[in-house]
Amino acid sequence: MSASDLVRVSLVAALFTAPAAPCAAQASDPVRILIETPKQGDVVQNKVHQAPIKGTAVAAGERPALFDVMIVIDISGSTKVASGVDVDGNGIVGVNPQFELMPAGTYPENTVSTDPGDSILAAEVKAADTLISSLEPGGRIRAGVITFSGEMNDQGMRKSYDQQDAWLEVPLTTDFVVARRRLQAILARGPYGGTNFAAAVRLAITELAGLNGARSTPRADAKRVVLFLTDGIPTFPIGAGSVSDPGDVEAALTAARLAHKAGITINTYALGPNALTNPYAATEMARITLGNYLAVQNPGNIVSFLQGVSFANVDDVVFTNLTTKEVSYDVNLLPDGSFSGFVPVREGKNQVRVTALSSDGASGSVDLELDFQTSGLTERELALELERVRERNKQLMLLVERERIQRFREQQRKELEIEAGGSDGAGSSPQAAPPQAAPPKAAPQQAAPSGP
């Protein structure tokens, strides 16, 4: 076992042996947790033995951090290709008929998605919409939206040497209703053209840094982040819009260097086989700006992946009932660090521990006591909410970082077993073994290559 593993195991052991803390973690804790409901000693009622818990977790030193987040969406022609997921939820997964065994003439010759509502662009828009809808009100986080492509003439070249290839759809705002409405307009407008990474990054710099011509008001104390979604590689501003020239890549990297000087972090998401064939520009943009690069083999999964963005530097939250020796992973963690979920309980008093894992591997916890009584929500209402949380967590298990989170959860379970074994040896009544953690969901299958 490595030194870092020993430190982490020791930390987890300390969490289980520490005395009960109040419902808010101390300021010195590596992760601060505030339990909103229930309060210490509250009576909780439900028809089934599950108690809902809501609160907020944030890594020490992060709050009251401000975030200005620009979501950059690729709307080039290739984003009309099927994403491999039922994005519009109509029960039908659109496919690219060019890679399916279908009778000739079933669809028009240029069809690349049998359900336009399941296109890559539709997945990008839904991912952005889902993220924005989860952001907390109050002004701590502002979000904006930029789209980019590159208009081409009949020869596949730039239609005009000075043309605009990136557009500010939504300036940085806390009016998330307006932002979400604009996203639907982007989807209605549809995909077209080439792919100009550099234009998109430069426009994001203008808005986040408040340069000349910006429509957004900069905040000097805000963390500036770009979430860059693309299904391709840069093909503009140099040469033909269907070919990636060295100058296209260099223009993107030059823009990334400017972003870094402006204190902007770029997190890039490469969607599907086109983007993954040669992800050099996307990976370098993230590296130069100290951001993260994520390869998304199945483009439609960006809807789940983008929900994994954290503006609180918290990666996971786990509930433990110290009274019944049960661990619950049925917790919905939002990007702003707020969480809600369920913990198994028994009639009467229950000692519950909430533990959160920060992005750097540290963790913190708080304890609360609640008194459970059978009553309240109908079993059907609770079951529906619990299933919704579990389904979202299944989707999030696709994230590449979930292996580390899985280890964190397994450590929580093992420490509980050790504690239970020690209690048994002291003469207490035997406890049932806690449930095993659910295995991570299998990695998604790679989408069929898209057309040019």
Domain boundary among 258, 281, 308: 308
Is the residue at 126 inside a domain? yes
Task: Please indicate, yes or no, whether residues 304 and 344 belong to a single structural domain of this protein.
Answer: no
Report the distance separating Cα 265 and Cα 24, nearest Å: 31
135 and 43 both lie in a single domain:
no
Q: Is the distance from CB of 223 to CB of 169 less than 8 angstroms?
A: no
pLDDT at position 359: 78
For residue 297, being part of any structural domain is answered with: yes
Q: How far is the C-alpha of 143 from the C-alpha of 66, rounded, in Å?
A: 11
Instruction: Let me know whether 304 and 398 are in one domain.
Output: no
Phi, psi (rounded to 5 degrees) for 124: -60, -45
Q: Is the dihedral of CA 201, 206, 207, 208 positive or negative?
A: positive
Residues 254 and 143 in one domain: yes
With respect to residue 427, please indicate whether it lies within any of the assigned structural domains.
no
What are the backbone dihedrals phi and psi of residue 328, each rounded to the nearest 5 degrees, phi first? -120, 130
Return d(Cα 370, Cα 54) in angstroms, integer.
Answer: 13
Distance CA 74, CA 123 (A): 11
Looking at the structure, do residues 324 and 249 belong to the same domain, yes or no?
no
> In this predicted structure, what is the pLDDT of residue 351?
96
Q: Which domain holds residue 213?
A: 66-100+111-308
pLDDT at residue 143, as a whole number: 97
Residue 394: per-residue pLDDT: 63
With CA atoms as reference, report the closest residue to 229 among 116, 442, 76: 76
Considering only CA atoms, which of 335, 340, 392 is closest in space to residue 133? Answer: 335
Q: What letters, b where the CB count within 10 A reaches 16 and e where it falls short, cover 28-42?
A: ebbbbbbbeebeeeb
Contact assessment for residue 290 and residue 265, using Cβ atoms and an 8 Å cutoff: yes
Q: Which residue, among 206, 229, 288, has the nearest Cα to 253 in the 3D structure?
A: 288
Same domain, 231 and 82: yes
Number of domains in the chain: 2
Single pTM value for the model: 0.73
Phi-psi region of 41 (alpha: psi -120 to 50; beta: other; left: phi over 0): left
In this predicted structure, what is the pLDDT of residue 20?
40
**Spatial separation of the C-alpha atoms in residues 52 and 208, rounded to whole Å:** 38
Boundary of a domain, candidates 268, 288, 308: 308
**Gap between the Cα atoms of 306 and 230, Å rounded:** 13
- Measured distance CA(37)–CA(25) in Å, rounded: 15
Residues 135 and 264 in one domain: yes
Q: What is the pLDDT of residue 396?
A: 60
CATH of the domain at 368: 2.60.40.650
What is the maximum span of the chain, computed from C-alpha positions, in angstroms? 83
Report angle CA 328, 332, 336 to the nearest 5 degrees: 135
The answer to the question of residue 321 being in a domain is yes
Q: Which residues of 271-303 are buried (b: 16+ CB within 10 A; e: fewer)?
A: bbbbbbeebebbebbbbbbebbbbebbbbbbbb
What pairs with residue 340 in β-bridges? 54, 332
pLDDT of residue 421: 73
End residue of a domain, out of 281, 308, 335: 308
Same domain? For 58 and 123 the reply is no
Show the tokens assigned to 105.
């003439």
Is 250 found in the same domain as 353? no
- Scan for tokens 């300021």, then name that residue: 27
Residue 338 in domain:
yes
Query: Do 91 and 211 belong to one domain?
Result: yes
**Do 302 and 354 have their domain in common?**
no
On whether both 346 and 276 belong to a single domain, the answer is: no
pLDDT tens digits in sequence order for the chain, 452 residues long: 433 343 334 334 434 444 444 555 555 568 889 999 999 999 998 888 889 999 999 886 544 578 999 999 999 999 999 999 999 999 999 999 988 888 888 899 889 999 999 999 999 999 999 999 988 888 889 999 999 999 999 999 999 989 999 999 999 999 999 999 999 999 999 999 999 999 999 999 999 999 999 999 999 999 999 999 999 999 999 999 889 999 999 999 999 999 999 999 999 999 999 888 889 999 999 999 999 999 999 999 999 888 878 888 888 899 999 999 999 988 888 888 889 999 999 999 999 999 999 877 888 999 999 999 987 555 666 666 667 667 666 666 655 555 667 777 778 878 787 877 766 554 444 344 344 444 433 333 333 333 43
